[in-house]
Structure 1
Amino acid sequence: MSAETPPGASFPESPDPDRTIEHRTPQPGQATANDAHTRQLPYGQAEELGFNAPDGTEGAPAKRGRGWLLAAISAIVVVILGGGGVWAFSQLSGGGTQPQEVLPGNAIAYVRLDLDPAANQKLALLTIARKFPGIKDSLSDDDPRKALFEAIKGDSPDLAKVDYAKDVEPWLGDRAGLAVLSSGAGKEPDVAAAVQVKDEAAARDGIAKLAPGDEYGLAFRDGYAILAKTQAAADGYAKAAPLSQNAQFSDDTSAVGEPGVMSFWMDLGELADMSGAAATAAPTALESIKDMRFAGALRFDGDYAELTGITRGGAANTLKGQPVKIAELPASTVGAISLSGLGDGFATQWPKIQQAAEATPDGQTITKSLEQFQQLYGISVPDDIVTLLGKSLTIALDQEGLDAQQPNVGAVLTTDPVKAQAVVTKLEALLAGSGTPLQLAKKPGDGQLVVASTQTYADKLGTKGTLGESESFKLAVPDADAANYAVYVDLDKLEPLYLSGLKGEEKSNVQVLRAIGLSGNYTDGTSMTLRVLFN
């Protein structure tokens, strides 16, 4: 969907005609502020659009030294996503230098928070905020950084004498980034922070008041204050080749797409080495992430919040999934999880699992217990487990019968139905012998077996449904037909279970929540998209 201009917003002639919004290629289902080509977006004296944290916001006491910056970053997340609002929009530019352009390029982990993202992100956040009564009522043109500062300040005696208007507002910008740099295996990592500033001299004085008596290094680069453990480190970071020139970082973050309000990147192999995990972790586990990187972003659309991430590099994925069929569930489905490739994956990993178990001090005991279990119950491991997991496994809960003593819950196993039914019978016998009898309804089909709490629901699951035609489902689980795994929860359908216990504004805010979806792939690396939908 496209972001719409919020009611009441106006865009007078820009006093700086050369200032434009950087063009970004929109991701599927995301709004964009630009047309196919870069264009100017007037800014400047536009009506301020924003959110203000409500009175009484509480925050943890600020930490001393470098801890105050980490507390600030955490508080920014709370301001963006919490019960207050977000920020005041005096302009919709979203342009300018980003933290990765000033932090050192040898970082092994990086997180960025942007209170001045692209215009489409600002408008989407405003649209979402107006859906929540608690936030809508607090929309104002106040400076949200002040509310943020007060939340960080709390009752800290170190910050009691710091005045926001005098000591912070004159220099504090809208962006911050944090980079973790390896100092060697098993050693405490180095950390470099970049905070956007408007006035270097004021920033130097203000930061000194925020960290009285603490030792830290401070340097400046392209409109940012670079903070480090020592002055020598800060000076070195300010002169180093930036992270934005790191080819792996650039490729990975470009693959994620729109960076949104928050983005992150890390080299998992380097982090494992730095943490000393190599001394305790299994060699096979370390090998799988040796060259693996992870990148992601938090971004918004007018209908949902989206957290997306990808992995690249590392060992070849042993899971070779096929597209799941979660979209073929009944339209009355309340929640479902669907996974593919688990059967083959378990079969591939079983020898390694056995080898790891046998290498432990209790290895012989584990092996003997497993043999006794198989002889006693006739369940073969790994064969019977592989049969149950099959090519894909989908578990679903239906809206009908939610308030009944026996809800409609079931599973669709894409596998050999004859073999699977025999395994289910063994499991029923196992449960009966343990004093918890369970009789499942079954419906075999072409290449699948359906098991459910009732025969009526088993028959329903055995017939191709139309969940995929639901607008909520299509928004929550994008590209469901190509996903190797997916999760979907329709919160609107679940409301009867919990809404009656809520009142007033709390009830109204909960009613805004519409659905949650998670989907992704694990071929050629992995990808993940988590969406929270709003009514």
Structure 2
Amino acid sequence: MTAPTNGVFDRPQGADPYAPEPGNAGKKTGIIITLALVAALVIGGGAFAVTRVLGGGGDQPSSALPGGSAAYVRMDIDPSVGQKIAAVRFLKDLDPEVTATLESDDMRREFFEMIAEDEPSLSNIDYDTDIEPWLGDRLGVGVVPQGEDEPQVAVALQVTDEGAAEEGLTKLFEASEGSDQAGWFFHGDYVVLSSAEMIDDVQAGVEAGTLAENETFTGDIEALGDEGVLSFWADGEQLAPYLDDAEGALDGVPDPTGMSGVAGPGAIGGFLSGSTLDEAQTGRVAAAVRFGEDHIELHGITRGFPVQIEDGDTAQLVQDLPEDTAVAFGQEHGDQLVAIAFEQMNKAMPDEMAQMQSEASAQGFEIPGDIQTLVGQSLAIGVGPQIAEIDQIDDPSQIPAVIRVQTDTDAANAVIDKAVVAAGATPEDLEAYVVRRVDDGVLSLGLSQDYVDSAVAGGLGDNPTFQSAVPNAAEADSVFYVDLNAFEQYYLSEITDENTRASVEQIAAVGMSATWSGENGEFTLRVVAD
């Protein structure tokens, strides 16, 4: 099916320029989704074709999608110059043979031919004559809400030749018997595709204002920074109507926990339908996959998720774990997060929470106060590399693990003693196995005296691998880190392909850090190469 003629689609004066046009329920978007996946594979096949001309300019797919889009996914094999240089360096360090393969200009053709082998309808499509002459470097998918109706789904493909694209798409859809289900139009450097039933509404939305002109979207993307080779954005408030079934989704699910009042599926459904979900639905998230010289990362931002944390310095105890720590977790302001969580749970499940607090009080515990004491203002958990050989450790006092908490240490020790007594033992029994050490408002717990002492001495924050894997660790509110080199002996031997094993061996660590301030947050997940 050919596209409708490009033109201006007028809307009533005073209408929201970014509001979606009215649409019909039950739209067929399967063929468009399929095309998007095929295009992503073909485009993505050349995603690291490092011999391409350095560029990165031109309009992004957001310039050809409706301004009312609530979700957006973008792939770009022509990213910024900095991203291309970083990708070359990272991939060459990771595996020279892989890099040499990715440098091939034939990667797109190879991926298309691989897809065509499993899809008979594409047997008459020739990549060189039907696709290569018009397919550009960028792909975008937009989702536009329509109230209770199925949302509009539109795909924006960058094109280099409109005439060739018209011919190629017509042949492609006719070959796949989808010519009566799809429509398209051209806008700027892109061809925009959607179902035949939705295409007019999509074009009207684009003509009224594009996503690239939506100030909320552009502000979030600007805050995100470099969009890398893959990025996405979502507005929870606009997507909220499609999440309203969360409460009923778990109805009738058996409760294996025996705690249906507090933690069973019914309680979870009630919690999801309460104010916590309502607040989450007001937020937005944007993230990008991008390269650094020694890593690949998923970096993102959040906006509009209210986390009311009182500002104040904390000990950042994760930085003071031993330098050779193999696994580390750090959490700042945990006491405040516990209070927020319990407040939300009380709103969503008041009766169940009251029962739980009453039962805890009968045993001498104050909930959530005692939990807040145990997690403190700063919490760090560390495990040493010797844990990889735990099967060879006969003496529990040699297990390299530690928990450190910045808190009221007297109160924390009292809570621990109450828990031991409630379990039918005595604090003296615990002392025979667990090391407890107090240093300037920090309580350290572990099984090995030597390891607990080394945790107090610190050094992880100065470890170069940790610094690469966990950006901004000194200011992060949450930190997670794994030194994969400490565990190589357990997984490398399972990889039989020599080249794959050599590549995996180059992966040194994974790390995550997250920070938040008011309603704004930032997070990064990294994989670091040696």
Q: Which TM-score band (shorter chain)?
A: 0.7 to 0.9
**RMSD value, Cα:** 2.6
Bigger Cα displacement from structure 2, 98-107 vs 143-152: 143-152
Q: Distance in 2 between matches of 1:330 and 1:431?
A: 32
Q: Which of 314, 322, 325 is the matching residue for 1:330?
A: 322
* Structure 2 residue 362 is the aligned partner of structure 1 residue 375: yes
Match of 1:491 in 2: 484
2:479 maps to a residue whose letter is A
Q: Would you say how many aligned residue pairs link Structure 1 and Structure 2?
A: 458
- The alpha-carbon distance between structure 1 residues 300 and 99, as it changes in their structure 2 partners (threshold 3 A), is same
Q: Which string of whole-angstrom CA distances, capped at 9 and with x for unpartnered residues, describes residues 135-182 of structure 1?
A: 145244332221232344341222222221121111111101011101
Match of 1:509 in 2: 503
Q: Which string of whole-angstrom CA distances, capped at 9 and with x for unpartnered residues, describes residues 105-145 of structure 1?
A: 11111111101111221222122222225514524433222
Question: What does residue range 126-525 of structure 1 map to in structure 2 within 5 Å?
Answer: 126-130=88-92, 131-132=94-95, 135-136=98-99, 138-184=101-147, 186-212=148-174, 213-214=177-178, 215-230=181-196, 231-277=199-245, 281-318=272-309, 322-323=313-314, 324-358=316-350, 363=352, 367-368=354-355, 371-376=358-363, 378-404=364-390, 405=393, 406=396, 407-430=399-422, 439-461=433-455, 463-503=456-496, 504-524=498-518, 525=520
Kept in 1: contact 2:155–2:193 (CA 8 A): yes
Match of 1:6 in 2: none
| Structure 2: runs of 5 or more not aligned | 1-28, 249-271
- The alpha-carbon distance between structure 1 residues 419 and 325, as it changes in their structure 2 partners (threshold 3 A), is same
| Structure 1: runs of 5 or more not aligned | 1-62
Tell me the secondary structure at the aligned position of residue 349 of structure 2. helix
Question: What does residue range 20-99 of structure 1 map to in structure 2 within 5 Å?
Answer: 65-72=31-38, 75=41, 79=45, 86-87=48-49, 89-99=51-61
Q: Distance in 1 between matches of 2:75 and 2:513?
A: 24
Kept in 2: contact 1:321–1:484 (CA 8 A): no
Kept in 1: contact 2:43–2:137 (CA 8 A): no
- The alpha-carbon distance between structure 1 residues 109 and 322, as it changes in their structure 2 partners (threshold 3 A), is farther
Q: Tell me which protein shows more helix as a share of its residues.
A: 2
2:458 maps to a residue whose letter is G
Kept in 2: contact 1:178–1:193 (CA 8 A): yes
Match of 2:4 in 1: none
Q: Distance in 1 between matches of 2:310 and 2:108?
A: 46
CA shift, 1:346, in A, is 1.5
- The alpha-carbon distance between structure 1 residues 164 and 273, as it changes in their structure 2 partners (threshold 3 A), is same
Kept in 2: contact 1:217–1:233 (CA 8 A): no
Q: Distance in 2 between matches of 1:70 and 1:275?
A: 24
Kept in 2: contact 1:329–1:467 (CA 8 A): yes
Q: Which string of whole-angstrom CA distances, capped at 9 and with x for unpartnered residues, describes residues 394-428 of structure 1?
A: 11111235313353111111111111122223334
2:502 maps to a residue whose letter is S
Tell me the secondary structure at the aligned position of residue 333 of structure 1. coil
Q: Which string of whole-angstrom CA distances, capped at 9 and with x for unpartnered residues, describes residues 78-106 of structure 1?
A: 647xxxx7325331111112111121211
* Length-normalised TM-score, structure 2: 0.80
- The alpha-carbon distance between structure 1 residues 290 and 510, as it changes in their structure 2 partners (threshold 3 A), is closer
Kept in 1: contact 2:67–2:206 (CA 8 A): no
Q: What is the identity percentage for the equivalent residue pairs of Structure 1 and Structure 2?
A: 32
Q: Which string of whole-angstrom CA distances, capped at 9 and with x for unpartnered residues, describes residues 492-513 of structure 1?
A: 2332443344452232111110
